Amino acid sequence: QGNKATHVPQVRFLKEQAIGIYELVLTRYPDTPLKARCLFNMGQEHRELGNYEKMREVLGRLVEEHEDSPLRRDSLLILGDDQFDRGKLEGAVVYFRKIIDSGLSRITGLAHYKLAWVYVNQVECKPALTHFEAAIRETQRWVDSPMAGQSELGAQTDTDVRREALVDLIYCYTQERKPE
């Protein structure tokens, strides 16, 4: 247990040091092609340190300044989750819709899935069911696409939410569809 106590301050120090390095890179090399990556990583470090306001600021900057970066969708997902977790459901809707509106990607189905849960939390089964079904359909479209499995910058694996969406749509399905 004494070992854990020693590592926590060390980890915090290393994360803060990493943030400092990213800031230095962005200051010294403002036109670096790795700018979006630096912002994303810095946002992740702030998130892990619990600096949520700073995380929102940094990832928001990435979203605004780097519309063509694959990391933009990941940032929108994180920002949407942050809004959802803070009970700001309308804010979450905005971020998840931006992912959906940006075209087919490895997280389009996930964005529909998360949007469905926004509607479940608002006790609106009809749009929730629509988005659970879209999560299944869009994930399948991605799996069937030639882009599936190709690495986007920052992407580790494809995100498959078909099973979760199918299980989670049951309540809304029974509310919106006739038994037969």
Write down the pLDDT at residue 93: 98
Backbone angles phi, psi at 152, to 5 degrees: -85, 155
pLDDT tens-digit profile of 41-66? 999 999 999 999 999 999 999 999 99
Give the tokens for residue 153. Answer: 């910058």
**Cβ partners under 8 Å of residue 18, min gap 6:** 41, 42, 45
Q: Please state whether the predicted TM-score (pTM) of the whole model is above 0.85.
A: yes
> Which amino acid belongs to residue 161?
V
Across 163-169, average pLDDT: 94
Q: How far is CA 137 from the centre of its chain?
A: 19
pLDDT tens-digit profile of 80-120? 999 999 999 999 999 999 999 999 999 999 999 999 999 99
Alpha carbon distance 38, 172 (integer Å): 41
Query: Which region, left, alpha or beta, applies to residue 87 given φ > 0 means left and ψ of -120 to 50 means alpha?
Result: left
